[in-house]
Structure 1
Amino acid sequence: MSPEQTTLETATGADTPEIGVTLETQTHRAHVRYAASETPGVIWYDPRDGRERYVCDRTVTMADFESMDDRVLTSVVVRPHRPGEAVDGRYCVVRNRNGLETFTRSIDGERVPGLVGIGSYRTADVFDSLEAAQEYCREHVAGYADAPRKDAVAARGER
């Protein structure tokens, strides 16, 4: 492992990884998603395009909601604004939240309205740079600023 990789893996959320690192083997873009799902509380990043994922270190239950309007942040994704297209330098921050919703379900062939369950919601904003997107996350996402950073591609390649 090179000194740069060691530095990036032990860096905190205030540090920025080197973007555009060339890899010797081809891997797919889901490494960040897989690693974050398996290890919450860590910022997993992809050095090829700057994509990041941070899963909050908690499980959401019905007790987390006092009203139908409450939303609980579950994860944050930082990704290129238009992945797969010409790089415009902009990055998108996608916030995944859970909240209560009312729905109708069929139980024993009968439609039962007004049931309450936990639903998923997404909101997103576009920033002019990766640094601006990361700064937003440090300021608005609890735990992000102090979370350790890990290279998901390197970690998944070791398995």
Structure 2
Amino acid sequence: MKKHEIRKNAYKFVGKILSNQHSIERAVKEARLQPGGHSGGGGGHAFVSDPTAQQAVRLAMELKAVTLDDGWTLRWPERWLKVVKCAYENCYPYEARAMRYYYDGHTAVRTGEQYGMDQSTVYRIRAEFLHLATELACQYGLVRVVSDEELRA
């Protein structure tokens, strides 16, 4: 992979996460509602079936992956949702509302009309927001912006 492709792909991936926030939330909720874990007894006398404890442990564990409605499998969805939440919480409220609107599928033109800003302002806010979200994703260990070889150099 070329030197700048890793960084470009990281930003592209974070943008995809932002655009799919609601689908990710729905997939996490569905995964959490599904029954799981072993609930039957075994042949040995030492095994004690405790479905309530098993359910509690399962709910406390972080989901490793979910599959969204379009078939896309996302690893560490709850970490990604923390990144999204933190990004929205760490920008100005008015800009956060505009970015929610934008990432809900509206164009920059429509977002500008809705929030009383010109298209270039929407693009500037989007760029800053995407930078913040990508930085947070790096902090959570979800994306890389340079290769391992470049870090070792």
* TM-score, structure 2 as length reference: 0.25
Hey, which of these two has a bigger chunk of helix by percent?
2
* Bigger CA radius of gyration: 2
Hey, which of these two has a bigger chunk of strand by percent?
1
